[in-house]
Every structure is written in structure tokens, then in C-alpha cells.
């Protein structure tokens, strides 16, 4: 009987830790990478938000409403405008709705940022987040009141509508995100075309 028991125990295969370790190691390595991308996103957003707030305060303090301050002749200069609409003075009659959209964008970007593995996606989303926060603060705290606040615009270039740092950050960030999507770069750091090639190979 003792020989049979020893034979049965010997026949049971031992657990192979090698099959579990790679998945565990990959998950462990992905967590620091994700935190780094979120940190990068938040740093970019904070820098752009601070720059936007500072330049708006300077514009309000030193540029009279409607006054033209030339920088490059008649082509580029400063002109203080209170904008109730979206970027580049669009949708001027929907200030409250734009405020809610901006708040939703801020929340959405932060949630997406927690899963990021791509540096370029972190940069693009950081630009969008910084710009959205800059204009959101105007809508919440500037006159005529909460959810109705007018955004401070002050950069005038040629025929282009007057804008600010936040508008530029949002537009440039959105363009970068669209380009990343078109060329197949995923937020998780992979590339869709390469994944498809690997599966079919």
C-alpha cells in the first residue's frame, strides 16, 4: 500500500511557475508605466493651465477691452475680448452647455489617463485637459456668473478669431490625438497595424 501511494504522488505534476511569472511580470511592469504616463499628462495640463491663467490675468490688467496692441504690425497683436462661446468665438449663445461639456471633458480625460501607456497620447490628452481647465475656470468664476462666465480671449492674428492659450492647447491636442488615431497608435502603447500583422503572420 505504501508503494502505491508513493507512486501516485510521484505521478502528480508539480505546478510550473514559469507559465504564471510572465503575465505577472508584465502586469507589474505596466503599472509603473501607466503611472508615469498619467503623471506626464497631469504635468502638461498643469503647465498649460498655469500659462493660460497667467496670460489672461496680464491681458485683463494691461489691455483695455477692444484696444489693439500691435506686436507684428497689423498682422498680429493683442485685443481683449470677452467670449461667451466656444473656442474662436463659436456657439456664443450656449455658454451653460459649453461649461458642462468642458467639465465632462476634464473628467473623461482624467479617467482615460489612468489607463494610458502611450507617451504621445499622454501629451495630447494633457494639452486638451489643460486647455479645457483653463476655459472652464473662466466659465465658473468670471462674470456674469457661474456657468455663464465669459472666457478671456486676447491673441489676434490676421483674419483668425481672437483666441487664448487654452484654445490653442485644445486645438493642438485634438489634432495630435486625431493623427495618432489615423496612424493606428493606441492609448495602450501598441499600434493597431502591427497587432494585425502579428496575428496574421
C-alpha grid cell for residue 114? Answer: 489612468
Question: Is residue 123 pLDDT above 50, yes or no?
Answer: yes
Closest by CA to 129, choosing from 32, 39, 54, 31, is 39
Which residues fall within 8 angstroms of residue 77, CB to CB, at 6 or more apart?
A: 68, 69, 70, 71, 156
List the domain boundaries for the chain: 33-183
Q: From the CB of residue 35, how many other CB atoms can be counted at a distance below 10 Å? A: 12
d(CA 177, CA 123): 9
Over the stretch 94-108, which tens digit does the pLDDT of each residue have?
566 777 888 888 898
Cα 148 to Cα 25, 66, 99, 109, 153: the distances in Å are 50, 21, 8, 23, 15
The model's confidence at residue 201, banded by pLDDT at 50, 70 and 90, is: very low
d(CA 53, CA 135): 9
Mean pLDDT lowest among 2-6, 71-75, 80-84, 154-158:
2-6
Question: Is residue 17 pLDDT above 90, yes or no?
Answer: no
Structure pTM?
0.75
Over the stretch 31-86, which tens digit does the pLDDT of each residue have?
677 788 999 999 999 999 999 999 999 999 999 998 999 999 889 999 999 987 65
Question: Is residue 131 pLDDT above 80, yes or no?
Answer: yes
Interval 118-144 mean pLDDT: 92
Q: Is 93 helix (H, G, I), strand (E, B) or coil?
A: coil
Name the percent of the chain in helix, strand, coil, to the closest 5.
65, 10, 25
Mean pLDDT lowest among 2-6, 120-124, 195-199:
195-199
Active-site positions read 153, 167
The model's confidence at residue 200, banded by pLDDT at 50, 70 and 90, is: very low
Amino acid at each position: 500500500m505504501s508503494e502505491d501511494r508513493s507512486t501516485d504522488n510521484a505521478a502528480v505534476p508539480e505546478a510550473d511557475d514559469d507559465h504564471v511569472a510572465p503575465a505577472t511580470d508584465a502586469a507589474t511592469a505596466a503599472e509603473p508605466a501607466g503611472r508615469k504616463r498619467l503623471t506626464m499628462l497631469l504635468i502638461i495640463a498643469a503647465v498649460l493651465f498655469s500659462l493660460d491663467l497667467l496670460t489672461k490675468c496680464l491681458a485683463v490688467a494691461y489691455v483695455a477691452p477692444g484696444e489693439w496692441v500691435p506686436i507684428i504690425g497689423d498682422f498680429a497683436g493683442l485685443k481683449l475680448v470677452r467670449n461667451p462661446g466656444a473656442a474662436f468665438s463659436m456657439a456664443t449663445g450656449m455658454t451653460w452647455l459649453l461649461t458642462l461639456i468642458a467639465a465632462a471633458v476634464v473628467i473623461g480625460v482624467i479617467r482615460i489617463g489612468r489607463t494610458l501607456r502611450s507617451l504621445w497620447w499622454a501629451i495630447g490628452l494633457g494639452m486638451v485637459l489643460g486647455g479645457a481647465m483653463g476655459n472652464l475656470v473662466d466659465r465658473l468664476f468670471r462674470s456674469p456668473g457661474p456657468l455663464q462666465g465669459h472666457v478671456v480671449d486676447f491673441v489676434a492674428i490676421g483674419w483668425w478669431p481672437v483666441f487664448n492659450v487654452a484654445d490653442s492647447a485644445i486645438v493642438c491636442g485634438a489634432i495630435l490625438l486625431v493623427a495618432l488615431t489615423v496612424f493606428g497608435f493606441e492609448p495602450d502603447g501598441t499600434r493597431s497595424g502591427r497587432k494585425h500583422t502579428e496575428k496574421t503572420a
